[in-house]
Structure 1
Amino acid sequence: MDVNWSTIDPVRFAEKKESEGESPIYLWIGVLPGSLSFGRAQDAAVGCQKILRTAGFPDIEVSLRESFFFKSKGPRLFKDDGDVLDIINGMVDIRNPFTPSLGVQIAPGDESSHEGTGALYFRESEASGRILLLTTRHVALPPSRPSSRLYSRKDPGSGQRNNIIILSDKAYKKAADTMLETLEAQQSRIRRSESFVKSFGEPTEGESPENIKKREHGYTSIAGARWIIKDVNKCQNEIKSWEPPENRVIGNVIYSPAISVTSDQCIEDWAMINIDPDVIDLETFQGNVLYLGGRFSHGDWKRKMRSSVPDFKYPFGRLFPAQGVVSLDELCYSNQQDPEGTNHFMVFKQGTATGATIGWMAGIKSVIRHHDVTGSRRTSMEVAVHSRHDDGPFSAPGDSGSIVVDGRGRIVGMIFGGSGLGTKKFADLTYITPYAWLEERIRKAFPDSFLYPTKQVEDWM
């Protein structure tokens, strides 16, 4: 008989009030859920017992259970609250891909080249310790799988796990390559600085103050480069074991409604991920904060955002809190203006493909026709985000799931797609699901859930 078994464990079962003496040994055989009827399970158990008796083990019993084998230990994500020195020397940028800050770079465990972005963290309830992560269904459960049925696995013991990993293969390689490039740059910096110091010769009595200061500057540069090299080497050692995708598992999909266009003409495309215990250090976890480092300096952020949000503030630690929700009415009737005086809603996001980007959102909805793999077509009305002048595209493939916020950190929506020529690697227009609408859908499935509390930023620039 062909049995899809997963594990075989020798165990003893005992009741608390059982009489003296050892209980019998069982071979506890795990079989894939739904793969064996009760009758066939009985036949399989009898067959196993015959084999055991023939082999000289007549006293061993056989019991079958439904179960999967999975690796329970995922990576421990780095803390997302870099100290002052990390910010000054750029280590916060190098470490960020390995932290839980938004947008966290994710991919399905069995399709690790299919990258996307995590949107927001939730607590399942006050009583539950589970941390949930929102994203789109087409990221968590790729198009290669049926999208027309509800997916639900809220009970950890039910059904097959669909694992989610941090960093697609491409994203992991990019982060690792950045470390190598940083090491090369700092080693080059040391060589240049040593040559610079050598050009002044040995210190002499009566040397000019200017030469003394320049030599000290060279030594300081060498010391700074060596410090960065030490930190990068430490980071490299910490992520060596992360390279295989199975070692980057951070959780699994527990719920996702079928992709559909609802009666109010919105596309429903979302999924909830349960983050495995011990993946996030709750002592240092900042909650729903977007990382603003990388592409723009803090001066760029202030200049670009203050044209529409005069009181925009930049967090010293580069972690911008997402809190509050923009209502559906305000999405359509905003009084924010772009530099030309046109009413627009200024927003930004952090995503896997394009990093931190800034865009404008018009109040009039766009009409989208969705074509799926079966050839069927559906039409929906969606909110579009336009790129900001010469800043480049607002999103690209891989940014699906990114959360979009306004200049005050209020949650606007989640990216689910874009439009443009297929030959381009970016979107001309980006489309988002309004969070105020999505929140109602989430509450129906998780009635006691709430956004994970965000730590308050104390230092602003």
Structure 2
Amino acid sequence: MESTIPPLIIPGVPQAFLDLCKLNVEVPIKPESHLSRSSTLYSPTAPDFDKLKDKVDHARLTKNYADAYTDTHGLRLCIKGAKLPFTAVMPLGFANVDEQEPFCPLLVAIGVEPKKVTYEDAKAVSESVKLTILAEAGFDDVEVAIWEFETFLSSSGPKLLALDPELQGHLTEFYHAFTSTLGIAVAPLKQPGYEGSLGLFLTRGDDSKLLALTAAHVARPPWMFPDNKGLSLKAADMHNEDIVMLGYEANTLAVKKIQSEVGRLQQSIKNDEQRIVGLQVRLNNGAEDADGITTAIRTARQNVDMSKESIRQLAIHHGRVTGLMPIPDNRCIARVLFADPIGASSDGPDAHTRDWAVLGIRKDAFGDDFQGNILYIGILYHAGDKLGGQAFLDRMFPHYADRDGYVYPEHGLLRFRGVVPMEGPLRPKQRDAKGDTALAVAKNSRTTGTTTGWYSELKSLVRYYKFINVEFTSRELTIVPYDNKPGTGAFSDRDDSGAAIVDRGGRVVALLTGGGGGGISDATDVTFASPYCEVEKRMKEIFPGIRLLE
């Protein structure tokens, strides 16, 4: 009789979640080109108001005003003139659960502060809005409702916890994207499709405010701010330019990564259970190596149990992040305090690129276990190949006679310790595998995660002109891929701008600002970066006393 494997059931894990993950396949996203690592633009997704056209005469309503469906400014003026303490003006439609047809296609709901508006005043305002604004604009079939309605901030902050590899174990990589541990993917709240990386944390020492550094073109996308005037301290106080962790794509990929792993674990369980069935048949038929088969069955069952436990943990994690993270406002962790205009630091031959912004981290953004400038090294990813801790050591300490400090960061977490001075990168003391002086560097960023590369001792003359309305030339630090072996991968890619580049001891070398290569191959790609010591010097002119948080 042929044995069959029963459907996978894991107590505490919804079957719908298992089915979702079973069908999920992780597809790596590879941009066609990346002249500027954060230059790819995304159009905001517009609400699909066309779905209402079967219930409301769409053409009639928008004939005189294209934004008729979304603009409530006129209503606001009317309500304000009536001195009504309103809290919100919302165009809404209503339907019963599980019914596709709405019983009220479109309604203007005006929220007012509870217990502060009499029935007579509410009725008067409702009739005024309907007769003097909506009817005259051709909305005579749209009703007006007055609600007692309170408004409040959607979140007190994401409360991101620090990464805990000791607790999360082999699942650490699936938690990292949703923690306060570097590198953190970020994007402007107003345009979360334009993404980059948060580089490092800063302090001024005179207060408890936590600051952070990223690239200016990440914090303030040039296409949104074509004047390239930057953002002064005074202007920042008047304009809230909020920053979220995980833009649209980064959030989607991080969730998809969890689902993909659960799908892989389910397949692993299926394979182990099929193996157990086959081994049990052999055992029942009197196979000679009964002890070996029994041991193999025990091992397979242990693998099944471990995979099920991993799925349980990932299901809890998935439910937490999908419950909190889908709305960009709920991922808001900072606002822009200052951004330098993008350009060259001077007209001289050694001018470097000024492309940096300082962020103020919200007090409620991180949990009490915040650990500061700790970079997640973990498992290195290169074109899908996993490299463990030994591979990291081999890359950062390639020469046997140059292994001062030869130790893998505990739990894969590298703490920042100081800054490499300008003469440091120019005269590195470390050595490559051949014994020549060289400086191996690493970073963790939004797109490529943890990568390693070599700092080139020669500065590159870089001309920027395509992604901002200003043309300038500067000398940049150059980072090249670690080697040209197939599958090794480029040091950086699109949306990695803003990441901090460090040496093997955790000293900050540079701020990643751009790259090039034309996409011919990963081995020919080059990453450009501004020396951190120069960026810090400029920051101190604006923020006296600012320094690396240690």
Query: What is the TM-score normalised by the length of structure 1?
Result: 0.78
Unaligned runs of 5+ residues in structure 1 are 10-24, 31-50, 57-68, 454-461
Match of 2:371 among 254, 270, 286: 286
Which residue type is aligned with residue 414 of structure 1?
L
Shift of 1:182: 1.1
Residue 513 of structure 2: aligned partner: 416
Distance across 1 between alignment mates of 2:207 and 2:76: 35
Residue 12 of structure 1: aligned partner: none
Residue 249 of structure 1: aligned partner: 332
Does the 8 Å contact 2:333/2:362 carry over to 1? yes
Which residue type is aligned with residue 430 of structure 1?
T
Shift of 1:392: 2.0
Does the 8 Å contact 2:395/2:440 carry over to 1? no
Matched ranges for 1:21-170 at <5 A: 71=154, 73-84=156-167, 86-87=168-169, 90-128=170-208, 130-144=209-223, 145-146=225-226, 148-153=228-233, 158-170=237-249
Match of 1:238 among 299, 320, 344: 320
Does the 8 Å contact 1:81/1:286 carry over to 2? no
Q: How many residues matched?
A: 399
* 1:316/1:375 CA distance change after superposition, 3 Å: closer
Distance across 2 between alignment mates of 1:159 and 1:426: 45
* 1:251/1:306 CA distance change after superposition, 3 Å: same
Shift of 1:212: 3.0
Does the 8 Å contact 2:228/2:469 carry over to 1? no
RMSD between aligned residues: 3.3
* 1:3/1:380 CA distance change after superposition, 3 Å: farther
Match of 2:304 among 222, 245, 256: 222
Q: Does 1:273 align with 2:352?
A: no
Distance across 1 between alignment mates of 2:469 and 2:217: 17
Residue 21 of structure 1: aligned partner: none
* 1:230/1:149 CA distance change after superposition, 3 Å: same
Shift of 1:109: 1.0
* 1:72/1:243 CA distance change after superposition, 3 Å: closer
Residue 354 of structure 1: aligned partner: 448
Q: Does 1:402 align with 2:499?
A: yes
Deviation readout 1:244-280 (Å, 9 max, x if unpaired): 2222211211111211212251111100111212221
Q: Secondary structure at the match of 2:410?
A: coil
Which residue type is aligned with residue 447 of structure 1?
P
Shift of 1:326: 0.6
Does the 8 Å contact 1:148/1:258 carry over to 2? yes
Residue 252 of structure 2: aligned partner: 173
Which residue type is aligned with residue 269 of structure 1?
D
Distance across 2 between alignment mates of 1:302 and 1:4: 64
Distance across 2 between alignment mates of 1:4 and 1:269: 42
Shift of 1:426: 9.4
Residue 39 of structure 2: aligned partner: none
Distance across 1 between alignment mates of 2:534 and 2:246: 28
Residue 461 of structure 2: aligned partner: 367
Does the 8 Å contact 1:385/1:431 carry over to 2? yes
Shift of 1:221: 0.8
Which residue type is aligned with residue 96 of structure 1?
H
Which residue type is aligned with residue 156 of structure 2?
K
Residue 310 of structure 1: aligned partner: 403
Distance across 1 between alignment mates of 2:75 and 2:200: 37
Match of 2:545 among 448, 452, 457: 448
Identity, % of aligned positions: 26
Q: Secondary structure at the match of 2:321?
A: helix
Which residue type is aligned with residue 148 of structure 1?
N
Which residue type is aligned with residue 422 of structure 2?
L
Unaligned runs of 5+ residues in structure 2 are 1-72, 89-119, 126-151, 382-386
